[in-house]
Amino acid sequence: MDGEKMPAIGIPRAMLYYRYGALWEHFFQSLGLSTVLSPPGSRGILEAGTRLAPDESCLSLKMFMGHVDALVGRCERIFIPRYSNYGYTEFFCTRYEGIYDQARNIFRSSGQRFITCNIDVQNGSPEAKAFEKLGVELGFSPRQSRHAWHEAARALEQQQKTAEHIQKELAGKPGMKVLVAGHSYVLSDPYLGRPILDYLESAGAVSLRADALEPETARKACARFSPTCRWITSEEIVGGVLLWKDRVDGIILVSAFPCGPDSMTNELLIRRLKGKPILTLVLDTQSGMAGVETRIESFLDIIRFQKGEMV
């Protein structure tokens, strides 16, 4: 980057980027700021993150720190929002709340600057207000910041509607269908979950995703099924499973080791969903695709057998 102007804002392509990234990018771009994303997830990024993150971190957090590492020195500030809650009954995984402070601590000697905003409805900071404050901190007026927020929220809504529309078209295709459920940042990552979706496709199955659904609809479905589930992204996954399950032949639950919220919600789904084959895959730093492929292939055989396509 010597002699070139660095992009103003760096965004790690990990964790909640895959849930809110359209909002973040449109917010900064509406303010006229340039953004840079870290490269797609890879073995190298995960290895770097594994060296940097605390040992007890989940796989997703290790991947996240590798992405931050890839941005250090390549932008003026790295944006890491703190997502805490949407009120007194809806919480985010505590790791989302801690990653800004963890990253600042891990990279404290790098000279890299960071910026955050707090989504914390319990303490009077809903998303709209948090992003308005962020815009003001970056030197824009409250009016400019509010305008950028509205543009960004519209872009996110549009992206979610498009994903749901594509999924409905996929659900209407003939052939075996498998619903894959997991955090968006696990399923969309090219090194973690994407190979599972690619393998299903190569094995002749149509894969649907539990997270391709308007989030509010999914959370309402989850609330009817389990009123005590409190983690927002987990509610969205469970709700997605409930709303898509009748259109598929089997369900694969994918999680990142060791994920506390997933261990509870996956158990809930396995115990309460009857009549559908369910496979759980837990990914960790040692997971190779060979073992995963064998398990998926056996799972697809079970589905074929149940459908009477195998004797």
Cβ atoms < 10 Å from Cβ of 293 = 15
Does residue number 260 form part of the binding site for ligand SF4 (CB under 6 A)? yes
Phi-psi region of 3 (alpha: psi -120 to 50; beta: other; left: phi over 0): left
Indicate which single residue of 30, 261, 269, 279 sits in contact with ligand SF4 (rule: CB under 6 A).
261
DSSP 125: B
Cβ atoms < 10 Å from Cβ of 134 = 23
- Residue 283 Cβ vs ligand SF4, minimum distance, rounded to whole Å: 10
- Residue list 50-69, contact with ligand SF4 (CB under 6 A): 58, 60-61
- Residue 192 Cβ vs ligand SF4, minimum distance, rounded to whole Å: 10
Closer residue to ligand SF4 in complex, CB, 218/256: 256
- Residue 60 Cβ vs ligand SF4, minimum distance, rounded to whole Å: 4
Q: For 213-235, b where at least 16 C-beta lie within 10 A, e where not — what string?
A: bbbeebbebbbebbeebbbbbbb
Tokens of 215: 């989030």
Which phi and psi angles does 113 have, rounded to 5°?
-95, 150
- Residue 244 Cβ vs ligand SF4, minimum distance, rounded to whole Å: 20
- Residue 149 Cβ vs ligand SF4, minimum distance, rounded to whole Å: 25
Does residue number 262 form part of the binding site for ligand SF4 (CB under 6 A)? yes
Closer residue to ligand SF4 in complex, CB, 128/264: 264
- Residue 76 Cβ vs ligand SF4, minimum distance, rounded to whole Å: 27
- Residue 145 Cβ vs ligand SF4, minimum distance, rounded to whole Å: 28
Does residue number 103 form part of the binding site for ligand SF4 (CB under 6 A)? no
Indicate which single residue of 129, 183, 209, 219 sits in contact with ligand SF4 (rule: CB under 6 A).
183
Does residue number 269 form part of the binding site for ligand SF4 (CB under 6 A)? no
H or E segment to which residue 118 belongs: strand 118-120
DSSP 298: H
Single-letter code of the amino acid located at 68:
V
Q: Residue 105 and residue 103: Cα distance in Å, rounded?
A: 5
Does residue number 291 form part of the binding site for ligand SF4 (CB under 6 A)? no
- CA 212 to chain CA centroid, Å, is 11
Closer residue to ligand SF4 in complex, CB, 44/260: 260
- Residue 202 Cβ vs ligand SF4, minimum distance, rounded to whole Å: 26
Instruction: Determine the size of the site formed for ligand SF4 (CB under 6 A).
Output: 11
Region of 34-42, 157-165, 194-202, 256-264 interacting with ligand SF4 (CB under 6 A): 256-264
Backbone Cα Rg of the chain:
20
Closer residue to ligand SF4 in complex, CB, 74/194: 194
Residues in the chain: 311
Residue 119: strand pairing partners? 83
Q: Residue 78 and residue 62: Cα distance in Å, rounded?
A: 17
- Residue list 111-170, contact with ligand SF4 (CB under 6 A): none
Does residue 258 have a cis bond before it (omega within 30 degrees)? Answer: yes
Indicate which single residue of 256, 279, 296, 303 sits in contact with ligand SF4 (rule: CB under 6 A).
256
DSSP symbols for 167-235: HHHHHTSSS-EEEEES-HHHHS-TTTTHHHHHHHHHTTPEEEETT-S-HHHHHHHHHHH-TT--BHHHH
**Would you tell me which residues interact with ligand SF4 (CB under 6 A)?**
58, 60-61, 93, 95, 183, 256, 259-262
